[in-house]
Structure 1
Amino acid sequence: MTHRIVIMGVSGCGKSSVGAALGQSLGIPYRDGDDLHPAANVAKMRAGIPLTDEDRWPWLDHVARVLKEGAPVIVGCSALRRAYRDRIRGGAGGDVRFVHLAGSRDIIAARMAARTGHYMPTTLLDSQFATLEPPGPDEALTLDVAAPLAALVDAILADIKGETA
């Protein structure tokens, strides 16, 4: 099976940590969606300005291209709305598995405050939660970010195994 996996959720939920660990377990590359943003998007976020849909469409298309051209691959991407996930699916050239890392605002804000060197300020977290349309079980596997990293990876691997068994 050619894996096209998107680890999704609001900023600070653990997409990079989970994606990198999952990639190591599966032996496939992880690409951080933060690195796929155009410079203008990064500048906006760094300035504390939330992205608009118009800002996001080219980025989501880039994410879809990475999934299409780089498969098997895991990409960390907020994919906050169903329309964004549909856009990614439409351009990915095959099935895409979404894993939603969900958690309380307090836990995620604390994680964001503790990280260094990232352009996304904690002040934008509320706009991320306001934009989020949590996926239903028909769209994604949803996991609680309060679980340990190894447990999150094990749950994703079990889900993958269950689908391919």
Structure 2
Amino acid sequence: MTTTINAEPAAAPPSVMRRLVGELAKFGIVGIVGLVVQFGTLPLMLDVLPATRATMASTGIAIATNYIGYRYWVYRDADKKTRSREIALFLLFSGIGLVIQTGMVYALTGMTGMNGKTAVMAFNLVGIAIATLFRFWSYRTWVFRAVPAADPALAALPEPPR
């Protein structure tokens, strides 16, 4: 009896740097969508709320939008067994990012005395830039933990009978 062995070489896993660049690109795309949502709602909020509250409200809407993108696209392979923990941590770290972002708006409007729509939106952009660094680190480190990759040697074994 002759046994045929699959001679195809196993695909090499992508390098860490390559995966990080891909993750950063996806994170950035979701972030741009959130930015569009936020800058679409912020001027409307500024018509009825003070600068810091308007920033908080528009950021809250963007955070909800971004969660969908992060969960179902960027970090779709994250451990789904801990969804309630994930949501709680996402809200915690998003809240910290919100404080960073709104704090920048509060500080810059207070320091400059400029609180018109254009100034608030520019100051908000500064806050978003700083808060984004924190959010990227915290989401990938604590919120959307990836399921460990299976050992390639184990993947080559046949499925056990059910």
TM-score by length of 1: 0.29
Between structures 1 and 2, the one with greater strand share = 1
Higher RCO (CA < 8 A, seq sep 6+): 1
Larger Rg over CA atoms? 2
Between structures 1 and 2, the one with greater helix share = 2
